[in-house]
Chain A
């Protein structure tokens, strides 16, 4: 066995306590990364492996506001087994019309589902609905207060509830819905009479391909067979693209927060290694006295570090890899799909690589210092300040740092976002380091207080070997993350609760037949005489071409050009819509009657480089309409009105069958009457209660906030580990201070006061830093990214920051207790 390794094994016997901080920090950081990576891989794997079930077939062809033509249907049928479904929003009401709830009406044929199984809860009256029967989601049963055997109304149909849906196999693939599902068969759809020309419904044709047929190729062939028909095509490899994108992005964001935590943990690693090696100075010098070379000494301590770090990293990976099991057991409902319970090597390898590199990055400098301890230090007590690392060590550290950044950026689904995030964290680290140094230097320049306890507290902030600057970085980063989160979350909550509802209408009403507008207005006004009703014409259709370029042939559609994906809501107007401002070109005259013109959202136009005068083509019910861009608009998206990316000039779309959408602002006390009046008088009209949407969005934001909060709390935990380490590292000098103070007649209370004052000063400084930097970061996120008004909830923020500061103070004092209890005579003997 290698000599250095043998010595390392022997030396490790007494080193475990010293290396505990290193182990804790690495364990925490690696566990977080491994858990985040494993969980997102588990969800993505489930989305991939169950792609057929989630999509409902190997191939899905989706169209808006129309059924497949016999020719198209024939082509789909020729590929494999075919299943047809129809989906639309519809109001479901109790038999007497007293309660009406927005639901997702889903009509299925007898072939549904091609994959998976439709399962109803125990006690169902039939296996699947037929004719005037309906199976409903548990949420719909709860909202309407109905059960199996009861009846409900959708459109013109009176439907018997045959059971509550326990499992809808293609639920995830259906995407975001505003209401719970009500499932009928195709006769049921006919009975509702809701599918009319112009009404907003979607048809989906799922195909089960025979073995040996490549779904992606077949899907592409079908798509090109009907180029202008506006089919949205998907194959099983990507059953739920929206969910996949969301999980990928959330996973990436959390992983970056986790990496920031690992960097903080790295500071703990550095501190732990430095204080451990400081305690080893005598041993190192003794090894040298006995003839050991610097290289052997470096190896002896490097081997020990590798062993302990390896154990910590392995433990972190093991616990992190179990995250999918833990989350599935305790918080399974919050996930879009049940995660695949397996070990995912890729995120574990990345996490381990980060752990090893961070451990190396932060322990190289103290290891190099140990390397240069002289044998003569046994004879002379020297105060060796933190020497600057040599050029070779600095270069090695720089290479490791670059490797960490490269791995983070290259493994990210969105490298640019990852790079920006890392740049921000680096900037924050540099800022905090500068602040830490400034605070230490500032404390040294302050006039000496006359009271000895206060003088000692100030001196502890800047004495040689003081940990102030490291603590400012470690705790500052964690607290700043938390404070930023508090700023963003409270701001969003306040926007949702107060600012938006003031301007928001009570209801959105969709699918109002245009010829019924007058009757609709009268019905609403009869129920709520002061109600304000605004209507806009709506149609749906995809953008099929930009100039001469077909969207279907565009390879990389940029992220911001989301309006090119699938169907969009379209409208036409003679006047500029409220909440919009023309930033380029000119709005058409009110009585314009020329060739079709279109006004485009400025950001959407920027995303694909559209300019005034360019042409774009939309497809409405299979008819292509080309229009010239007349103006670009800036849209205020938080007005809670109807905002359309594309607004056409009058006369462009009027010929197509369209319906009206309305916003109804009614007195809160009359909302129930309005809902009842519309659901009984207009069964085809969908009423979306704005409060419900806000609650749903609020709940989603709350879940996101919790996820980010958990990841950020690991940063705080790592910061606490650094604090505990810093306290342990300075225990000797603190014990010395306490003993000398007691020898000179100070009471335990006075000694405690000195420590409390020091940590109170530190906590105050950290709180101010977290407040300032968190405030700026929060303001940026809220006003620049979410583009919302700035109205943070100061009380929650103050509580968050005060909690962080108070925690620092308490932990500091707990750490100081052993020094406080030292008996002078006993301690002086051992000092």
Chain B
């Protein structure tokens, strides 16, 4: 059996926010190794540190201590702009509140990461990606003209368009009703399976967690359980 390819390796990661009296230790020595193609659910109560761990692993926030290596890049050694550069093409992010750029159409939103990465066919690829999430006919619409489910599908297309090795999704169904949420997750898993990317989902939803092949649980800024529950997508 070939050795699984490691896409992320976090060692003793800590995150402390605030100063002096207001100091809060958010992450307290997290260790996590992730291999290519895994689907991981990150569970935990509010305030357990899930979103902060994702922010640190995705390079959105610099860790206070420890080391993080993602797809060969040492995130600990990079500054804000270095992290932005490292994310390009490597990491796709989907957020609970969608966070589409309100002044840009669906197509332009999907094209932005491709344009930032310098792709000359950014719009053609963005159009393909929009078609894959079933929104080819909504390409010229602005976020305010789309429903919540449609906005999240645009966000998925935007995250997947540069073919990242890692996809982070923070409560992706948190702002959607159950039926729409299920449809969006079906789409996300389908696209993840097609691309072979590693999917990292933060959720409170046990049913959603059950669809992942690995479930990591956090409490008080530490990982308290890490269970493999299924097969890794090939």
Kindly state the separation between the CA atoms of A590 and B23 in the bound complex, as whole angstroms: 91
How many whole Å from B113's CB to the nearest CB in chain A? 5
Does A445 sit at the interface, judged by CB under 8 A? no
Q: Which residue in chain B gives the minimum CB-CB distance to A6?
A: B115
Q: Which of B52, B103, B116 contacts A290 (CB 8 A)?
A: B116
B42 CB contacts on chain A under 8 angstroms: none
Does B2 sit at the interface, judged by CB under 8 A? no
How many whole Å from A276's CB to the nearest CB in chain B? 12
Residues B116 and A3 in contact, CB atoms below 8 Å apart = yes
Kindly state the separation between the CA atoms of A290 and B159 in the bound complex, as whole angstroms: 8
Does B4 sit at the interface, judged by CB under 8 A? no
Kindly state the separation between the CA atoms of A6 and B61 in the bound complex, as whole angstroms: 27
Residues B60 and A378 in contact, CB atoms below 8 Å apart = yes
Kindly state the separation between the CA atoms of A294 and B80 in the bound complex, as whole angstroms: 8
Q: Which residue in chain A gives the minimum CB-CB distance to B100?
A: A286
Within 8 A of A (CB), among B97-133: 97, 99-104, 108, 112-113, 115-117
Kindly state the separation between the CA atoms of A13 and B170 in the bound complex, as whole angstroms: 29
Residues B99 and A286 in contact, CB atoms below 8 Å apart = yes
A7 CB contacts on chain B under 8 angstroms: 112, 115
Does A148 sit at the interface, judged by CB under 8 A? no
Residues B95 and A290 in contact, CB atoms below 8 Å apart = no
Does B67 sit at the interface, judged by CB under 8 A? no
Q: Which of A10, A13, A293, A376 contacts B60 (CB 8 A)?
A: A376
Q: Contact flags (1/0) for B79-103 with A, using CB distance below 8 Å?
A: 0110111011100010101011111
Residues A11 and B104 in contact, CB atoms below 8 Å apart = yes
Residues B170 and A291 in contact, CB atoms below 8 Å apart = no
How many whole Å from A382's CB to the nearest CB in chain B? 9
Q: Which residue in chain B gives the minimum CB-CB distance to A13?
A: B103
Within 8 A of B (CB), among A278-315: 282-283, 285-296
B116 CB contacts on chain A under 8 angstroms: 3, 290-292, 296
Q: Contact flags (1/0) for A466-509 with B, using CB distance below 8 Å?
A: 00000000000000000000000000000000000000000000
Q: Which of B83, B99, B104 contacts A378 (CB 8 A)?
A: B99
Q: Which residue in chain B gives the minimum CB-CB distance to A11?
A: B103
B97 CB contacts on chain A under 8 angstroms: 378
Kindly state the separation between the CA atoms of A6 and B88 in the bound complex, as whole angstroms: 19
A11 CB contacts on chain B under 8 angstroms: 101, 103-104
Q: Which residue in chain A gives the minimum CB-CB distance to B88?
A: A291
Residues A291 and B60 in contact, CB atoms below 8 Å apart = no
User: In the complex, how many residues of chain B place their beta carbon closer than 8 angstroms to a beta carbon of chain A?
Assistant: 32
Q: Which of A14, A283, A292, A376 contacts B84 (CB 8 A)?
A: A292
Kindly state the separation between the CA atoms of A10 and B103 in the bound complex, as whole angstroms: 7
- State whether A293 and B84 are in contact (beta carbons under 8 Å apart), knowing that A282-B99, A283-B102 are contacts in the complex: yes
Kindly state the separation between the CA atoms of A286 and B100 in the bound complex, as whole angstroms: 8
How many whole Å from B88's CB to the nearest CB in chain A? 4
Within 8 A of B (CB), among A191-223: none
Residues B51 and A379 in contact, CB atoms below 8 Å apart = yes
Q: Which residue in chain B gives the minimum CB-CB distance to A288?
A: B84
B83 CB contacts on chain A under 8 angstroms: 375
How many whole Å from A380's CB to the nearest CB in chain B? 8
Kindly state the separation between the CA atoms of A285 and B115 in the bound complex, as whole angstroms: 17
Does A15 sit at the interface, judged by CB under 8 A? yes
Residues B112 and A290 in contact, CB atoms below 8 Å apart = yes
Residues A14 and B103 in contact, CB atoms below 8 Å apart = yes
User: In the complex, how many residues of chain A place their beta carbon closer than 8 angstroms to a beta carbon of chain B?
Assistant: 29
Does B55 sit at the interface, judged by CB under 8 A? yes
Does A791 sit at the interface, judged by CB under 8 A? no
Residues A283 and B115 in contact, CB atoms below 8 Å apart = no
How many whole Å from A828's CB to the nearest CB in chain B? 16
- State whether A375 and B84 are in contact (beta carbons under 8 Å apart), knowing that A3-B115, A289-B60, A291-B117 are contacts in the complex: yes
How many whole Å from B188's CB to the nearest CB in chain A? 17
Q: Which of A12, A291, A295, A296 contacts B113 (CB 8 A)?
A: A291
Q: Which of B55, B85, B101 contacts A376 (CB 8 A)?
A: B55
- State whether A379 and B102 are in contact (beta carbons under 8 Å apart), knowing that A290-B112, A292-B84 are contacts in the complex: no
Kindly state the separation between the CA atoms of A376 and B112 in the bound complex, as whole angstroms: 19
Q: Contact flags (1/0) for A1-42 with B, using CB distance below 8 Å?
A: 001001100111111000000000000000000000000000
Does B158 sit at the interface, judged by CB under 8 A? yes
A379 CB contacts on chain B under 8 angstroms: 51-52, 54-55, 60-61, 170
A287 CB contacts on chain B under 8 angstroms: 101, 112
Residues A291 and B85 in contact, CB atoms below 8 Å apart = yes
B103 CB contacts on chain A under 8 angstroms: 10-15, 283
How many whole Å from A9's CB to the nearest CB in chain B? 10
Q: Which residue in chain B gives the minimum CB-CB distance to A10?
A: B104
Residues B60 and A295 in contact, CB atoms below 8 Å apart = no
Kindly state the separation between the CA atoms of A295 and B108 in the bound complex, as whole angstroms: 21
Kindly state the separation between the CA atoms of A63 and B153 in the bound complex, as whole angstroms: 93
What are 22 residue pairs bridging A and B, where the CB atoms are less than 8 Å apart in the complex? Answer: A3-B115, A14-B102, A283-B103, A286-B99, A286-B101, A287-B112, A288-B60, A289-B60, A289-B95, A290-B87, A290-B113, A291-B89, A291-B116, A292-B116, A295-B81, A374-B60, A378-B95, A378-B99, A379-B54, A379-B55, A379-B60, A379-B61
Query: Which residues on A are within 8 Å of B, measured CB to CB?
Result: 3, 6-7, 10-15, 282-283, 285-296, 374-376, 378-380
The 5 residue pairs across chains A and B that have the minimum distance between CB atoms = A14-B103, A291-B88, A376-B61, A375-B60, A290-B113
Assuming A287-B112, A379-B51, what are 19 further A-B pairs, CB within 8 angstroms? A6-B115, A10-B103, A10-B104, A11-B104, A12-B103, A13-B103, A286-B100, A289-B95, A290-B93, A290-B116, A291-B117, A293-B81, A293-B85, A294-B81, A295-B81, A375-B83, A376-B61, A379-B54, A379-B60
